[in-house]
Amino acid sequence: MDVDVLEGFTKQRATRLDSEILKNPEDPVYPLVKEYSDVVSKHPPSQLPPDWGVRHEIYLVPGTKYCVTRQWPLPREQCAVISAFFAEKAKSGMVQESKSPHSKPIFCVRKLNGKWRLVHAYNKLNNAMVPAQKPIPRKDVLLNNLSGCTLYSALDLVDGYYQILMREIDIPVTAVSIPLGMLWEWLAYFDDIFVHSRAEDGQTAMEVHLKHLR
């Protein structure tokens, strides 16, 4: 398929699923999309995610004491962005003030759209962590699992790092400092997902897929 045609088709599909269906009650999948309208949102979460029964855990190498790097000076514009960001996250309950012995600095990088992206300098923490012992499955295994499915979703989660609650004892390890001198720690952490579904138990593939997304 021609690249321009493929890109146009992709944009058309994304637009339709994102907005047009909920504007047209006559659309055959309108009832389903309306029922599961909470699944997809362009807006950051306004509160902590529910407890899904899974917590993000951090295991430090035995003998690790503290992961500390001093906050370095930043331009005023970045300081303002960082302060506003943490004020918003504190209001939503995503972060809380911390007295942790751990402390990592923070800075901003410019995104392609001109906005700022906050970066936590977790270098020392990453080096002190025990590597995850659950390796990503081989490509052939993943492709085999996808066979027979009729719907696929690759999702860049809105505020993706704030979707799964942290394990309580690991929260202090996430502490970051900001230029104003305050120390914050995160209560939620996660990122991207890929979902695939097939029809089952009398339900259409769309019904099953939306349940998987929820």
Return the CATH number at 172. Answer: 3.10.10.10
Instruction: Give the residue from 198, 188, 212, 204 showing the smallest Cα distance to 48.
Output: 188
Same-domain check for residues 45 and 27 = no
Question: Could you tell me if 138 and 104 lie in one domain?
Answer: yes
Q: Positive or negative CA dihedral for 80, 83, 89, 92?
A: negative
Q: What is the mean pLDDT of residues 91-96?
A: 89
Query: pLDDT tens for residues 105-124?
Result: 999 999 999 999 999 999 99
Determine the distance from the C-alpha atom of residue 174 to the mean position of all C-alpha atoms in its chain, rounded to a whole number.
Answer: 16
Asked if 167 and 109 sit in the same domain, the reply is yes
Domain co-membership, 18 together with 94: no
* Residues 51 and 137 grouped into a single domain: yes
Same domain assignment for residues 143 and 57: yes
What average pLDDT is seen over the chain?
78
The C-alpha torsion from 80 through 86 and 90 to 92, rounded to 10°, is: 100
Asked if 55 contacts 164 with a C-beta cutoff of 8 angstroms, the reply is yes
Q: 117 and 44, same structural domain?
A: yes
Residue-level pLDDT at 174: 93
pLDDT tens per residue across span 140-182: 887 888 787 777 766 666 666 677 889 999 999 999 999 888 7
pLDDT at 2: 44
The structure tokens 């939503």 sit at: 92
Residues 51 and 5 in one domain: no
pLDDT: is 64 or 156 the higher one?
A: 64
Residues 100 and 115 in one domain: yes
Cα 179 to Cα 13, 53, 73, 75, 175, distances in angstroms = 43, 35, 7, 10, 14
Of the two residues 198 and 4, the one the predictor is more confident about is: 198
Same domain, 24 and 112: no
Note whether 100 and 156 are same-domain residues: yes
Q: Give the count of domains, the chain.
A: 2
Domain range for 208 is: 36-213
Same domain as 4, residue 105: no
